[in-house]
Amino acid sequence: MSTEKELQAVLDKVFAADSALYQRRGFQRRVGYGRKPALLNIDLANAWTRAGNPFTCEGMETIIPAVQRLLAAFRARGLPVVYTTTAYEVTEGPNSDMGLWHRKIPIEILKTGSREAAIDERVAPRPGEHVIVKKRASAFHGTHLSGMLRAMGVDSVIVTGVTASACVRNSVEDAIADGFKPIVVREAVGDRIVGAVAWNLYDIDAKFGDVEPLYNVLKYLQSNEIG
């Protein structure tokens, strides 16, 4: 048995025990789908989606096709599509806009206008779709995202992207706090570390949003629940 399969077997046991505890205490409720969703693609930029970068994530052979199918479904219905990337104007000297994050991780490579910070061309935005440049993990923290979605009449966000343990998780936490129903697409989320996706999706589903398989989300997007 591979290390990844062994880890998944252990996690399955842990999740089963944790689910029993959570359910006894009233966790793992469902937020459900909304009437007008936006697709929120978190940091599907080259630094994360392409090989050879410090931020490179695993699973793009599954994530990219899943996002492509979601994009097609949203575009067919004229629903909002939003991307985020993380980038900084000043990455040298004492007056940077990186805060102190660069003391933990190599975010200095995420220079505004760089190839690393550009959205992967395989899931590139089209005219009329939004790209929000953020400085922090959450797509909502310090950006105009929440106000923009409210102005569009959006009540829910379908979330894809990376990483499960940081930017996706933080964005989902802020989405539900701001009054948007978060639906995270299981096959469309990645990370760098073995087990990080499984654990974070489990915990998100218990506390912050609904984690749904791609099939269910596509079925919803073709339904009359939207309107």
Residues that are catalytic: 167
C-alpha distances in angstroms, 170 versus 27, 48, 64, 128, 129?
A: 19, 17, 21, 26, 22
CA 151-190-203 angle, 5° bins: 75
Identify the H or E element spanning 187: strand 181-190
Identify the H or E element spanning 30: none
DSSP letters spanning 55-120 = T--S-HHHHHHHHHHHHHHHHHTT--EEEEEE-BS--SSTT-SSTTGGGTS-GGG-BTT-TTTSBP
